[in-house]
Amino acid sequence: MTREITLQNLPEWTWTKATPLPDSARTYSRLQDAYIKMGLMFKNNDYESFKKTVWLAMQERAVADLLGPEFYFKTTDFPDEFSKGVSGAPLPNWSDYKLKLYKDGKLARLVDKYGAPPLDYRRRDGEVYFYNCYFSLIDGKLVVTR
């Protein structure tokens, strides 16, 4: 037995309209720059810049979970972490990371041999956390979309 269904009003995620990134040294370099900028946000405990940088991803995840974006962002613990103070971890050894492309190059990230990203931060108690995000090329800019 089969049944046909029709789905309506599904959200169209921003990354699905992204310009595909090629598997190239230029893409790697652009991602490296994006990770460094985000790492500086942690290092400088720059909550507003971090929130602005990840806001698109937070908005879309909120839609998927049927939540408001501000409420969803608060569930990530980032507002609390930044209010207590975070710091960036030292820059990684970039040669340990390789470029990973997904969905025909519309999503991209760097990972080490364990699948960990090159972006992490330290809480005041010294505990280290990774921030695993995906980037997409939107209007010529690398944007955190997941």
pLDDT, tens digit (0-9, with 9 covering 90-100), for 115-130: 999 999 988 888 889 9
Split into its structural domains, the chain has a count of 1
Q: Which domain holds residue 92?
A: 22-144
> Is residue 6 domain-resident?
no
Tell me the C-alpha distance between 28 and 118, whole Å: 12
> pLDDT tens digit string along 83-137?
999 998 778 999 999 999 999 999 999 999 999 999 999 888 888 899 999 999 9
Whether pTM > 0.75 for this model: the answer is yes
Tell me the C-alpha distance between 146 and 141, whole Å: 15
> Is residue 17 domain-resident?
no
Q: Find the mean pLDDT for residues 27-39.
A: 96
What's 10-66 look like in SS3? CCCCHHHHCECCCCCHHHHHHHHHHHHHHHHHHHCCCHHHHHHHHHHHHHHHHHHCC
Tell me the C-alpha distance between 84 and 82, whole Å: 5
> Is residue 130 domain-resident?
yes
What three-state secondary structure class fits 121?
Answer: strand
CATH of residue 37's domain is 3.10.450
> Is residue 5 domain-resident?
no
Residue 11 has pLDDT above 90, yes or no: no
> Is residue 10 domain-resident?
no
